[in-house]
Amino acid sequence: MILVVDDEPFILQYVGQVLRQACYEVMTAANGDQAWSILEQKQIHLVLTDIIMPGALDGLGLAKKIRDKHLSIPVLFITGAVPEGDDRTAELVSNGFLLRKPFFPKQLLDFIGTRFTHSSS
């Protein structure tokens, strides 16, 4: 099960549709707080999150909370804006854990496929 987190409804619909067509099970959340509630209730195998979102928990905060709770869930990032001078996002880019918006379906599937192996979960 992949949890997609983004505050833009179009992105949630687009990413969800692309992943479902590739036989992934998908849940969506409109912000980090909603995502955390889902993570506490469901078995999630991968989180794909936007970085910049309104609310108390942005994408980087969500990833930190997942790590702090010692959850072994991989977190990948999608964003249209990479904050300049932020060492955390620079590291994500250099390690290949960030996909910039806009992206094509094949780019998304390649991005996830090279970092996450699924068995229809």
Neighbours of 70 (CB within 10 A): 6
109 pLDDT band, cuts 50/70/90, is very high
The tens digit of pLDDT for each residue in 15-25 reads: 999 999 999 99
Domain span at 13: 2-112
C-alpha pair distances (Å), 96 with each of 34, 40, 111, 119, 120: 26, 27, 8, 22, 24
Instruction: Identify which of 81, 39, 27, 43 has the alpha carbon closest to the alpha carbon of residue 63.
Output: 39
Instruction: Count the domains in the chain.
Output: 1
The reported pTM is 0.89
The tens digit of pLDDT for each residue in 40-79 reads: 999 999 999 999 898 899 999 999 999 998 778 999 999 8
**Cα gap 100→108, rounded to integer Å:** 10
pLDDT of residue 117 exceeding 70, the answer is no
On whether residue 120 sits in a domain, the answer given is no
CATH of residue 89: 3.40.50.2300
On whether residue 27 sits in a domain, the answer given is yes
